[in-house]
Chain A
């Protein structure tokens, strides 16, 4: 039971990072990135490949972040002239492309089997001690990511992102290059998602193409929307909630003896119902975006 709780918390922290990343892109910047899992996946695979090649994880993780940042940059450049909706579709396509590369380039990615047997985090420890150390690391990185995202949302950078989200013409008229802003926020979001992906790989000592299905992007979106688009704390709350639910349902199955082929659909059903319920009762999410009151803050 303790191990299960630790597992859920670790996964919450890892997906919390991915959700904070998506919240920066979609909540603050209004970018409908439906390919978030690709950025996560690039980080995950880069870390897997590099650690397999013998790099220690403290070096592999930043490299994975850099690779995913580059991926974000590319997605931003790719559709710079597309209208928002078409760009959203393009991100979905890019994510599938990344998954197909992972599935088919066996020499690099291990193909359908993925990459396993990775030397994970803290190989010197085992059992609960290892889980606790992993949780501490993941929580620390989540805290760092969340504080960074919050800070970026508060300064002129975030202000321009929000203006871009609500009225891109006005942002342009005030001298802001919105394509450059978009590319920057995707690169930053990419680095964050890559961090989440890298941690995921290191924690599970495995990454495979099935972890990059579009459904995963949907899960991360669920976390952000549930928590409240545009609010960093909301993204973290949403990630905890969805992860707990997602991990808890198979556990529940054991308790009430449900057939195991049902758990998959039950998960989707439960998460879908909760999203619907929250959005009907609290359309802004559990922790809605707050207006910044700069004037009142002044001494």
Chain B
């Protein structure tokens, strides 16, 4: 489906992503982990066509992803969310949702003016879909509120819901649970599993090992831009390189503990399969 071939991206002297190759199969859920600044977001930017690789190639569905047409992957079914959504203050929640949908009649200025009936029907259908998705993330009651006025966590949820308006084939999510409360996190995991059952592959950047362990078939660990592990989530804690990347070099006798990302994350021991401590 989606693949990277020896992709490198440098910013001046800094190599943020270093000779990364990967392959995402259909319906796969792949976790992308690594310490802050290890290049996860940069890799997502490369995969989604938001950044051009310094060298190497990204391919999606048989075509090369080009940063000159960053909007195109999304139309072809490769969609991404943002670590910081920064939603518009002067658009309502529902409007942001609709902007995530594909409304060809309304998007064309001619048809907007000349075929009001088609525009109305299309809009009604997508409003229905949007309200369903908003209900899943507890935002239905805020449909007419300014999107930029939502709390940080709510903005993340809305950012995710808007991306889902178009049934993508591959979904790239940048820390979807950061700032989201635990019960909603569990529901989000269930929802993402259902999306996968619907035929979507997922790449999830996460610091919450519980969430990763719960959801992912496979994990890629990045450190300083390079892939240092490609394994099942429960194997991460046994990987010396991953442990050191997260915690620094281990001193004997210090228990291996890793704090999950986000505001409400509990403490997670990556040695015990990412179960919550």
Residues of A within 8 A of B (CB): 148, 151-152, 155-157, 159-160, 162-163, 165-167, 169-178, 184, 188, 230, 289, 291-296, 298
7 more CB-based (< 8 A) A-B contacts, given A157-B108, A176-B107: A156-B123, A157-B106, A163-B99, A172-B71, A174-B100, A292-B91, A298-B127
Cβ A166 vs Cβ B89 within 8 A: yes
Cβ B113 vs Cβ A166 within 8 A: no
Given contacts A156-B103, A295-B94, contact A173 B144 (CB under 8 A): no
Q: Which residues of A contact B208 (CB under 8 A)?
A: none
B8 at interface, CB cutoff 8 A: no
Q: Which residues of B contact A291 (CB under 8 A)?
A: 90-92, 144, 146
Cβ A294 vs Cβ B50 within 8 A: no
Cα-based distance from A100 to B94 in the complex (angstroms): 47
- Smallest CB-CB A-B distances: 9 pairs: A156-B106, A166-B88, A175-B74, A155-B106, A295-B143, A293-B144, A155-B112, A156-B103, A156-B107
Given contacts A169-B82, A171-B99, A174-B74, contact A155 B119 (CB under 8 A): yes
Cα-based distance from A163 to B162 in the complex (angstroms): 12
Closest to B93 in A: A295
Closest to A166 in B: B88
For B71, B96, B113, B148, the residue with the greatest tally of chain A CB atoms inside 10 Å of its CB is: B71
Cβ A289 vs Cβ B90 within 8 A: yes
B24 at interface, CB cutoff 8 A: no
Q: Which residues of A contact B146 (CB under 8 A)?
A: 291
For B81, B91, B108, the residue with the greatest tally of chain A CB atoms inside 10 Å of its CB is: B91
Shortest distance from the beta carbon of A75 to any chain B beta carbon, whole Å: 17
Cβ A175 vs Cβ B71 within 8 A: yes
Given contacts A156-B103, A294-B143, contact A151 B113 (CB under 8 A): yes
Give which listed residue, A160, A169, A184, A296, contacts B99 with CB less than 8 A.
A160
Give which listed residue, A151, A152, A159, contacts B98 with CB less than 8 A.
A159
Give which listed residue, A155, A170, A175, A294, contacts B86 with CB less than 8 A.
A170
Cα-based distance from A167 to B159 in the complex (angstroms): 12
Q: Which residues of A contact B81 (CB under 8 A)?
A: 173
Give which listed residue, B112, B144, B162, contacts A174 with CB less than 8 A.
B162
Cβ B109 vs Cβ A157 within 8 A: yes
Cβ B106 vs Cβ A174 within 8 A: no
Q: Which residues of A contact B113 (CB under 8 A)?
A: 148, 151-152
Interface residues of B in 78-137 (CB under 8 A from A): 79-82, 85-92, 94-96, 98-103, 105-109, 112-113, 119, 123-124, 127, 131
Cβ B112 vs Cβ A173 within 8 A: no
Closest to A291 in B: B92
Shortest distance from the beta carbon of B154 to any chain A beta carbon, whole Å: 15
Given contacts A152-B113, A173-B48, contact A166 B91 (CB under 8 A): yes
Cβ A173 vs Cβ B82 within 8 A: yes
Cβ B98 vs Cβ A156 within 8 A: yes
Cα-based distance from A178 to B70 in the complex (angstroms): 10
B163 at interface, CB cutoff 8 A: yes
Q: Which residues of B contact A293 (CB under 8 A)?
A: 92, 144
Cα-based distance from A173 to B109 in the complex (angstroms): 21
Cβ B90 vs Cβ A166 within 8 A: yes
Cα-based distance from A55 to B45 in the complex (angstroms): 55
Cα-based distance from A230 to B166 in the complex (angstroms): 28
Cα-based distance from A172 to B48 in the complex (angstroms): 10
B75 at interface, CB cutoff 8 A: yes
- A-facing mask of B149-168, CB < 8 A → 1, else 0? 00000000001001101100
Shortest distance from the beta carbon of A28 to any chain B beta carbon, whole Å: 10
Give which listed residue, A159, A175, A294, contacts B127 with CB less than 8 A.
A294
Cα-based distance from A184 to B113 in the complex (angstroms): 14
Closest to B107 in A: A156
Closest to A175 in B: B74
Q: Show 12 residue pairs from A and B whose CB-CB distance is below 8 angstroms, ordered by the A residue.
A: A151-B113, A160-B99, A162-B90, A162-B95, A170-B85, A171-B99, A172-B74, A173-B79, A230-B90, A291-B91, A295-B143, A298-B127
Closest to A165 in B: B88
